[in-house]
Amino acid sequence: MSSTKHNLAAHNAPDSDATDTRPTLVVVGNGMVGHHLVEQLVERDQHRRYRIVVFGEERHLAYDRVHLSEYFSGRDAQSLALSTADYYAEHGIELKLHQAVTAIDRDARRVHTDAGYLDFDRLVLATGSFPFVPPIPGNDREGCLVYRTLDDLDAIRAAAATANTGVVVGGGLLGLEAANALRGLDLDTAVVEFAPRLMPMQVDEQGGELLKEKIEGLGVQVLTERATREIVPGEASRLRMVFQDDKVLETDLIVFSAGIRPRDELARECGLEIGERGGVVIDDHCLTSDPAILAVGEVALYNNSIFGLVAPGYQMAKAAADTLCGGDSTFTGADMSTKLKLMGVDVGAIGDAHANRHPGAKQYRYFDQIQQVYRKLVVSGDGKRLLGAMLVGDNSAYDSLMQYYANGLDLPADPASLIVPSSEPAPTLGPDALPDSATICSCHNVTKGAISAAIDAGCEDLGAVKGTTKASTGCGGCAALLKNVFDHELAARGMEVDTSLCEHFAHTRQQLFDIVRVEGIKTFSELMTRHGTILDDGAPSLGCDVCKPAVASILASCFNEPITDAAHIPLQDTNDTFMANMQKNGTFSVVPRIAGGEITPDKLIVLGQVGKKYGLYTKITGGQRIDLFGARLEDLPAIWEELIDAGFETGHAYGKSLRTVKSCVGSSWCRYGVQDSVGMALRLEHRYKGLRSPHKLKFAVSGCTRECAEAQSKDIGVIATEHGWNLYVCGNGGMRPRHAELFATDLDDQALIQAIDRLLMFYVRTADRLQRTSVWRENLEGGLDYLKAVVLDDSLGIGEELERQMQHVIDTYECEWAGALADPDKLKRFRSYVNDSRPDPDIIVTEERGQLRPA
């Protein structure tokens, strides 16, 4: 069928030849799902089957709405774009941006726009949704906005420029994202939610209460069970929200983010079947009530459900593309499990997390109000199947729980072990436990079987598997699981699993450590010449961002030469190069060592004076130190000169090394203390300061079993007893918290030091690059008993050697900042521009709570 063209010029693509006899496929909507449909047709090489014309109502190419809030933190439309105009042109697809389809004539098979009309043979509605604005009188006043598109965000940014306060109406996923955006625009922010809790679809009452507590802890006011009666002009601010209980809230800006509604007006007007509460009704093939018209994404209603996540939209696009190509793939619904990080707070919901759909289901709950973690399992009556899960404050168990749920795997004998902290590691699912049907990448619906098939088809490296299957090319959250499955499948086929550190060294980190130690190699260039990759011209390779810092750490662990020496500087990352942590606005943090958390009043005064002099933001850390943020690069030497003159030294907050040894006051002050925990903390911190290791290290010493220093969550934890010290090892906080394990009991001071010396140096020798002590311990064959045998019983006969290595590190310690200040050549690095001594003009700060922070 030919197509009539009236003023419908394509964007960066030529008008079709009038003799083009291919059927015309019109896609209405160029959002994430509409674009994915086009990609699916191109991947199937079926884009030549149709003359494809895509209408986008917005002026921007399809962009990543999942990361929309990053628009306020530096990303622009181009960086969020999912494709380019050249991609469409290259594949002969006509892209018409900023052109809305205004009507569909089903009888004539024609779409109308303000620019004319176009005849079609097949039509796909990918019009998405629009933000629901509650019918509140005054909701259209100036300063009342929505949070949905890039243009909406531009409007919010412009309004925020002259505002002090902002309110988000809606406490769901999008509402909290909008609140984070307002907070990032330096507005005092509040969230108003009609329901009794935040995110009512994802979390229950207890989880919602914890979520509210965490959000309020970030400085955002949360008002639940509030219905707005009207919006009127404010007195102290521009707007006043009047609630049903007559309470009021004044604000300069209101953002409505109270849910979405399908953009189904085109379908309604042309007579397609519409659901009772909106949405274009589709079948398993994404066909509407008119077989020439399909619908995908948030406009589509399948089995009386609208799917408001991108993964189900992608699945619909895949099924619709197959339908258009004559295939028989179907869309049969989608799981709405979600893993989110909202304002830095983890929230996860899997399956029937509210236990609404399974009578007789049993529940396990774990709630730690101190650590602010809530976990809940919903299991079948016999305890064998996971039916749902809920996580607030910690999503580290999400991936394993999702595999249990999605694949119907048998739960451990004690399901609670999956969510309740224990001295034993929680049961984990290895790749061999997953069936071929297990979904590894939910964004692109890639299964373990698809990965296996890709390997069988000739994909011998991870990059090739990603290119073939698209796994881990969406949000990237499955990267670790994908790597584990890939390595397992290679090994199962008898193929060599490459454990090389990188392309420049055909050795593991452990092997390189042994080579450096045995051969006495002291520079990267010597190691590369002897054991690395040689280029075609016979010269050694220069290395990469993987091997250079790894080798730098090995050299420091073995010989402890200053990392600021000329031979080692090229190996360091930014933080180690400048001996300070770079912050998001290009400034640096200054963290002097405060061993054991003990500090004199005079030194406290010095920190205050330095912070005030250089305009630094100051904060007490969880490791009992004081962080000074916002230092300009060129000011670092002067700041450290003052600190070192006052008796401070570097705290190594920038390095993979010992950070802190936290302590309580112990027997010196506390009536419960049984040992001098402060004295032991000082001894340990001064002994191991400067030790470079595969990952950062944290210690703690508690003076009694009341455990005020939280020693059981540290790499090395020491707890006093009436008879000495109990030693706990290989715990950590972070994204994947692990309780430390009891290693030895009632040790005297000398035995404690000896055990720690040996364990740490054995870890430094044998761990992989960037591997935490907890993961290292989990991967040791023989587990904790093997580690005890090596360290306590000297089963390998290397105990004295490990102690000598540690003593060398201790004996050669020097403060890196003190060394840098004494060398004028090293100080030349501390300037923002090589050829200009002036400070960086792009660093802009604003005042908040009496201190400066990044604008």
Pick from 285-289, 418-422, 533-537 the range whose average pLDDT is largest: 285-289
Sequence-separated (6 or more) residues with CB below 8 Å from residue 646 = 602, 603, 606
User: pLDDT at residue 67 above 80?
Assistant: no
| Mean pLDDT calculated for residue range 250-263 | 93
User: pLDDT at residue 477 above 70?
Assistant: no
Domains 24-130+262-324 and 133-258 agree in fold: yes
Given CATH 3.30.390.30, say whether it is the number of domain 336-429.
Answer: yes
pLDDT class of 128 with cuts at 50, 70, 90: very high
Q: Determine the Cα–Cα distance for residues 821 and 284; give it in Å rounded to an integer.
A: 70
Secondary structure (DSSP) of 825-851? HHHTT-SSBTTB-SPPTT--EEEETTE
Contact 749, 680 (CB under 8 A): yes
Q: At residue 625, what are phi and psi to the nearest 5 degrees?
A: -125, 175
Residue 8: HSE in the Cβ half-sphere, 13 Å Cα cutoff: 25
Within the chain, how many helices (H) and strands (E) appear? Answer: 25, 38
Contact 473, 462 (CB under 8 A): no
Q: At residue 718, what are phi and psi to the nearest 5 degrees?
A: -125, 125
Q: Determine the Cα–Cα distance for residues 333 and 301; give it in Å rounded to an integer.
A: 10
Contact 63, 80 (CB under 8 A): yes
pLDDT class of 78 with cuts at 50, 70, 90: confident
Taking CB atoms within 8 Å and a gap of at least 24, the contacts of 62-67 are: 62/30, 62/31, 62/32, 62/34, 62/35, 63/32, 63/150, 64/32, 65/31, 65/32, 65/310, 66/32, 66/310, 66/475
User: pLDDT at residue 320 above 90?
Assistant: yes
- Report pLDDT for 280: 97
What does the block give as tokens for 76?
Answer: 């622009």
- The DSSP secondary-structure symbol of 97 reads E
Name which residue leads in pLDDT, 440 or 442. Answer: 440
User: pLDDT at residue 462 above 50?
Assistant: yes
Taking CB atoms within 8 Å and a gap of at least 24, the contacts of 754-757 are: 754/803, 755/727, 755/791, 755/792, 756/684, 756/688, 756/716, 756/727, 757/802, 757/803, 757/806, 757/807
Q: Determine the Cα–Cα distance for residues 308 and 306; give it in Å rounded to an integer.
A: 6
- Report pLDDT for 1: 35
- Report pLDDT for 338: 81
Contact 134, 255 (CB under 8 A): no
| Mean pLDDT calculated for residue range 465-477 | 72
| Mean pLDDT calculated for residue range 276-292 | 95
pLDDT digits (tens, 9 = 90+) for 445-454: 788 888 889 8
pLDDT digits (tens, 9 = 90+) for 597-631: 999 999 999 999 999 999 999 999 888 999 999 99
Name which residue leads in pLDDT, 17 or 586. Answer: 586
Averaged pLDDT of the chain: 87
513, 563, 469: which is closest to 767 by C-alpha?
A: 513
User: pLDDT at residue 814 above 80?
Assistant: yes
98, 97, 103, 96: which is closest to 117 by C-alpha?
A: 103
Sole residue written with tokens 């060294």: 505
**Which of 103-117, 492-506, 511-525 shows the lowest per-residue confidence on average (mean pLDDT)?**
492-506
- Report pLDDT for 536: 65
Name which residue leads in pLDDT, 843 or 716. Answer: 716
Homologous superfamily in CATH for domain 658-811: Sulfite Reductase Hemoprotein, domain 1 (3.30.413.10)
Q: How many CB atoms lie within 10 A of CB 361?
A: 17
CA distance to 217, 311, 617, per residue, from 614 (Å): 28, 48, 9
27, 48, 31: which is closest to 314 by C-alpha?
A: 31
CA distance to 29, 98, 157, 159, 744, per residue, from 59 (Å): 12, 4, 18, 21, 66
The DSSP element (H or E) to which 190 belongs, if any, is strand 188-193
- Report pLDDT for 5: 39
Whole-model pTM: value is 0.59
Q: How many CB atoms lie within 10 A of CB 237?
A: 17
CATH number of 24-130+262-324: 3.50.50.60
Torsion angle, CA of 106/110/114/115, rounded to 10 degrees? 180
Domain ranges of the chain: 24-130+262-324, 133-258, 336-429, 509-572, 658-811
pLDDT digits (tens, 9 = 90+) for 688-705: 999 999 999 999 999 998
Q: Determine the Cα–Cα distance for residues 626 and 289; give it in Å rounded to an integer.
A: 65
813, 816, 794, 815: which is closest to 803 by C-alpha?
A: 794
**Which of 263-272, 380-389, 432-441, 808-817 shows the lowest per-residue confidence on average (mean pLDDT)?**
432-441
122, 127, 125, 126: which is closest to 25 by C-alpha?
A: 122
Beta bridge partners of 350: 389
- Report pLDDT for 248: 95
- Written as one letter, the residue type at 167 is V
Secondary structure (DSSP) of 446-488? EEHHHHHHHHHTT--SHHHHHHHH-TTSSS-TTHHHHHHHHHH
Q: Determine the Cα–Cα distance for residues 501 and 507; give it in Å rounded to an integer.
A: 6
Sole residue written with tokens 């935040």: 198
| Mean pLDDT calculated for residue range 191-203 | 91
User: pLDDT at residue 837 above 60?
Assistant: no
Q: At residue 101, what are phi and psi to the nearest 5 degrees?
A: -75, 125
- Written as one letter, the residue type at 620 is I
Contact 747, 721 (CB under 8 A): no
Q: How many CB atoms lie within 10 A of CB 216?
A: 12
- Report pLDDT for 9: 40
Architecture of the domain made up of 133-258: 3-Layer(bba) Sandwich (3.50)
**Which of 79-93, 669-683, 718-732 shows the lowest per-residue confidence on average (mean pLDDT)?**
79-93
- Report pLDDT for 7: 42
- The DSSP secondary-structure symbol of 665 reads -
